[in-house]
Structure 1
Amino acid sequence: MRDGAQKSVAGPAGSAAPPRSLRADARRNRERVLAAADAVFAELGPAASTEEVARRSGVSIGTVFRHFPTKDALIEAVVVGRLTTLALEAEQLRDATDAESAFVAFARRWIDLSASKHRFAVALAHSGADVATIRSANPEVGRRVHDAVAALLTHAQRAGSIRQDLTAADVIAILAGASHAQEHIGPDPRQRAHLLSVTIDGLRPR
Structure 2
Amino acid sequence: MMAPSAQEPSAEEAAAKGPERPRRRRADAVRNRERVLAAAKAVFSAGGTEASLEAVARQAGVGIGTLYRHFPTREALYEAVYRREVEQLGELAEALKGEPDPVEALRRWLHSNVAFVATKKGMAAALAIAAHGKTDLAAFSYERLTTAVGSLLARAAAEGRIRADVGAEDILRALIAMCYMNDQPGWQASVLRLVDVFVDGLRVPPRG
TM-score category of the 2 structures, normalised to the smaller one: 0.7 to 0.9
After superposition, the CA RMSD in angstroms is 2.5
1:124 equivalent in structure 2? 127
- Whichever residue aligns with residue 196 of structure 1, its letter is V
For the 8 Å contact 2:157–2:164, the answer to whether it is kept is yes
Q: 1:64 offset after TM fit, Å? A: 0.9
1:98 equivalent in structure 2? 101
If the length of structure 1 is used for normalisation, what is the TM-score?
Answer: 0.76
For the 8 Å contact 1:114–1:179, the answer to whether it is kept is yes
CA pair 122-174 structure 1, distance change in 2 beyond 3 A: farther
Match of 2:42 among 39, 55, 69: 39
For the 8 Å contact 1:95–1:155, the answer to whether it is kept is no
Structure 2: 5+ residue stretches without partners: 1-24
CA pair 62-193 structure 1, distance change in 2 beyond 3 A: closer
If the length of structure 2 is used for normalisation, what is the TM-score?
Answer: 0.75
Work out whether 1:55 is the aligned partner of 2:54: no
Deviations 1:159-182 (A, max 9, x none): 22322111112212222222223x
Report which of the two structures shows the higher radius of gyration computed on alpha carbons: 2
- Whichever residue aligns with residue 34 of structure 1, its letter is L
For the 8 Å contact 1:185–1:192, the answer to whether it is kept is no
Q: 1:135 offset after TM fit, Å? A: 5.2
CA pair 147-132 structure 1, distance change in 2 beyond 3 A: farther
* Equivalence map 1:123-142=2 (5 Å): 123-125=126-128, 129=129, 131=131, 133-134=133-134, 136-137=136-137, 139-140=139-140, 142=142
| Aligned pairs, number | 181
2:143 equivalent in structure 1? 143
Deviations 1:88-147 (A, max 9, x none): 11111123221111111111121232232133133433xxx1536445147555433322
For the 8 Å contact 1:149–1:168, the answer to whether it is kept is yes
1:167 equivalent in structure 2? 167
**CA–CA separation in structure 1 for the residues paired with 2:156 and 2:87:** 22
| Structure with greater contact order relative to length (CA < 8 Å, sep ≥ 6) | 1
Q: 1:148 offset after TM fit, Å? A: 1.9
- Whichever residue aligns with residue 158 of structure 2, its letter is R
- Whichever residue aligns with residue 148 of structure 1, its letter is A
- Whichever residue aligns with residue 90 of structure 2, its letter is A
CA pair 80-154 structure 1, distance change in 2 beyond 3 A: same
For the 8 Å contact 1:50–1:71, the answer to whether it is kept is yes
1:24 equivalent in structure 2? 27
2:190 equivalent in structure 1? 191
**CA–CA separation in structure 2 for the residues paired with 1:145 and 1:37:** 21
2:90 equivalent in structure 1? 87
Deviations 1:75-99 (A, max 9, x none): 1111111111111111111232211
CA pair 137-79 structure 1, distance change in 2 beyond 3 A: closer
